[in-house]
Amino acid sequence: MIKNIIFDCGNVLISYDEHYIASFFADDENDIDLLARVAMARKYWDAFDAGALEPETYKKEVKKELPERLFDAACGICDKWTSHCPPIDGMRKLVRDINAKGTPLYLLSNFNQRLREEIDIVFPELALFNGLVISGEIGMVKPNSEIYEYILTRYSLVPEECIFIDDNKNNIAACESAGIAGYLFDGDAEKLRAYLAQHELI
């Protein structure tokens, strides 16, 4: 019987779109595309998520790949990108309703170390969660099996009593290998609500 809900963050609770974020830091469409491709490249963001990259190092390195006119924009993205990730439609209310039901909520997210201090900016309802596992804080990332074992051990969770909601097939496959039920989120909060209602979690 499922008793606990574990959420991913990006593209589950909040929208993460490189081009959309970059559009707040440049006006020219070509510059926006360049920032989205270079300043928000996975090699940097994956390193942030793993807790292996400091902002000042990022700013130094990314400037080597960009024209000087975009230096300030890249630094702005580094410092303020979380302000431009709106919540997925319906997800804030869904989380509040789950909490009102009394169902324990947990977060398991590949996210940099800033998330905990920026909860009010990113997704205020994270304050309702029973526990947060943030990759940048612990140096583990999905879909590596160790991060699933970490959350289970950290919060004394029984895998068969948990469901993990993520938008990435590889992360879902990994959670299922750890004995956790998986739900592949497609952006439809109402469909997720109906699924959780079937399991009396909301």
At residue 17 the predicted structure's pLDDT band, cuts being 50, 70 and 90, is: very high
Is residue 71 domain-shared with residue 157, that is, in the same domain? no
Segments forming the whole domain that contains residue 127: 4-15+85-198
Phi, psi at 188, each rounded to 5°: -100, 100
What does each C-alpha distance from 66 to 18, 69, 162 come to in angstroms? 16, 8, 44
What pLDDT digit, counting tens, does each position of 79-138 carry? Answer: 999 999 999 999 999 999 999 999 999 999 999 988 999 999 999 999 999 999 999 999
Tell me which residue has tokens 């039901």. 101
**Mapping DSSP to helix (H, G, I), strand (E, B) and coil, where does residue 134 land?**
strand
Helix axes 71-80, 55-62, angle to 10 degrees: 150
At residue 183 the predicted structure's pLDDT band, cuts being 50, 70 and 90, is: very high
For residue 60, the model assigns a pLDDT of 96
Is residue 119 domain-shared with residue 178, that is, in the same domain? yes
Using CA of residue 179, residue 128, residue 112, residue 87, what is the dihedral sign? positive
Contact 78, 54 (CB under 8 A): no
Give the CATH number of the domain where residue 172 resides: 3.40.50.1000
Is residue 150 domain-shared with residue 189, that is, in the same domain? yes
